[in-house]
Amino acid sequence: MKKVLLLLFSFIIGIALFVWIAKIVGLDEIKKAFLVFTGWHGLVILGLTFLMALVGTWKWREILKGGGTNVPFMSLLNPYLAGFSIMFLAPILLWGGEVFRSYILKERNGVPWSKGMASVVIDRILEWTANLAVIFFGGLFFLLIIGFPPVKLGIIFGGVFLILLLGVSFFYFKCVKRESFVSLFIKNGQNKPFEIEKEIFGFFKVRKKAMWKALFLSFLRAGVMYTRAWFLILFLGKTITALPVLSVLGFSYLAVMIPIPTALGSHEAIQTFAFGALGLGASAATAFTMIIRGAELILSLFGIIILFRLGVILIKNILFKKINKLAEDNESGN
C-alpha cells in the first residue's frame, strides 16, 4: 500500500511540474514546436529508441555469457522490454524491473536465481557508470560555458548526481578490495544475497573480457541516446554542436533518476532551463521531452503486452505444477 501511495504521490508531483512548465512556456509555442515532429522524423526517433533496447538486450546477453550462462537473444528481448516498462512507468518500485527479469530467466530458461539477479545488478551498475560519465562531461561543459543552474534545480539534480556517484564509487571500491558490501546490511541467515555478490565479484575483474565488452555496450547504448537527442534537436529546427548535445543528454539522465513515472515534469523542468541557457528556446525543450517520452512510452507499451503474456504463462505454469504435485501426492497416498 505504501508503494502505491508513493507512486501516486510522485505522479502528482510530476503532473504539477508539467503544468507549471506549460504555463511558463505557453501551449501554443509547445504545439508549434511539437508539430515539427512528423513523418520520417518520427520513424527515426522511434527506430533509435528501439535500437537502444536491442543494444541493452545484447549487453545483458554478454553479461550472462561472462557468467557462464548462454541464453538466446530473443529469449532475453521479451523480459528486457517488460522490465523496461516497469522501470519507466513505475520507477518508485525500486529494482522491480530487474527482479522480474531475473525471475523470468529462472522460470523459462532455468538460470539459477543468483546468476540471473547478479546479471541484472551488473547491467544496472554498468549503465549507471556510462550515465555518470555523460552527466559529468556534459555538466562540466555546461558549467564552463553557461554557468550554474538556479539554486533549487542545482540542489535537486546535484544531490541526485552526488548520491549516485557515491553509490557507484562505493561499489567499485568494494569490488577492488573484494570486500563484501552485502554483509553491511545482512549479517547471517540468508545465503542468496551472498551468492549474488559472489557472482558480481566474479564478473568485475580487470582481465575479464566480458566486463569490458559489456561496459563498451553500455557506452554504445548511451551513444544511441546521444544520436537520438541530436537528431531530435535538429528536427525541431535548432542548430547545435556536439558538446551541448552531451549536456542535454546528461540532464536527461539526471531527470530520469528522480523516481517520477515517465520523468513527467522533472524532465521538462531541467530541459527548459538547459535549452534556454543554450539558446534553443523553452518551447523546444518541452517538445523535446514530450517526443522522447512518447517514443519510450510506445516501447513500454510493447513491454506491458509482453509483461501480461509472460505473467499469464507463469501463472499457468505455477498452477500446473501445483495440480501435478497434488496428483502425485494423492497417488502416493493411495
Which of 170, 172, 179 is closest to 206 using CA atoms? 172
Quick check: 224 and 55 in contact, CB under 8 A?
yes
**What pLDDT does 3 receive?**
42
Q: What global pTM score does this model have? A: 0.80
Count of CB atoms within 10 A of residue 52's CB? 22
Quick check: 61 and 76 in contact, CB under 8 A?
yes
Q: pLDDT higher for 316 or 130?
A: 130
Query: What are the tens digits of pLDDT across the range 148-174?
Result: 666 766 676 677 778 888 888 888 887
Distances (CA, A) of 184 to 88, 164, 188: 30, 18, 11
Question: What is the rounded distance in angstroms from the CA atom of residue 40 to the CA atom of residue 42?
Answer: 5
Question: What is the rounded distance in angstroms from the CA atom of residue 180 to the CA atom of residue 185?
Answer: 10
Quick check: 308 and 79 in contact, CB under 8 A?
no
Q: Which of 60-69, 101-110, 275-284, 290-299 has the highest mean pLDDT?
A: 60-69
Q: Give first-to-last CA distance, the chain, whole Å.
A: 45
Question: What is the rounded distance in angstroms from the CA atom of residue 117 to the CA atom of residue 271?
Answer: 34
Q: What is the DSSP string of 208-254?
A: -HHHHHHHHHHHHHHHHHHHHHHHHHHHTT----HHHHHHHHHHHHH
Residue type at 205?
A: K
Query: What are the tens digits of pLDDT across the range 12-38?
Result: 544 554 554 455 445 554 555 455 556
What lies within 8 Å, CB to CB, of 222 at 6+ separation is: 130, 131, 133, 134, 249
Within 13 Å and on the Cβ side, how many CA atoms surround 81? 25
Which of 22, 81, 19 is closest to 11 using CA atoms? 19
Question: What is the rounded distance in angstroms from the CA atom of residue 102 to the CA atom of residue 193?
Answer: 14
Does the pLDDT value for residue 60 go beyond 90?
yes
**What pLDDT does 149 receive?**
67
Does the pLDDT value for residue 48 go beyond 50?
yes
What lies within 8 Å, CB to CB, of 267 at 6+ separation is: 252, 255, 256, 289, 292, 293
Residue type at 19?
A: V
Does the pLDDT value for residue 43 go beyond 60?
yes
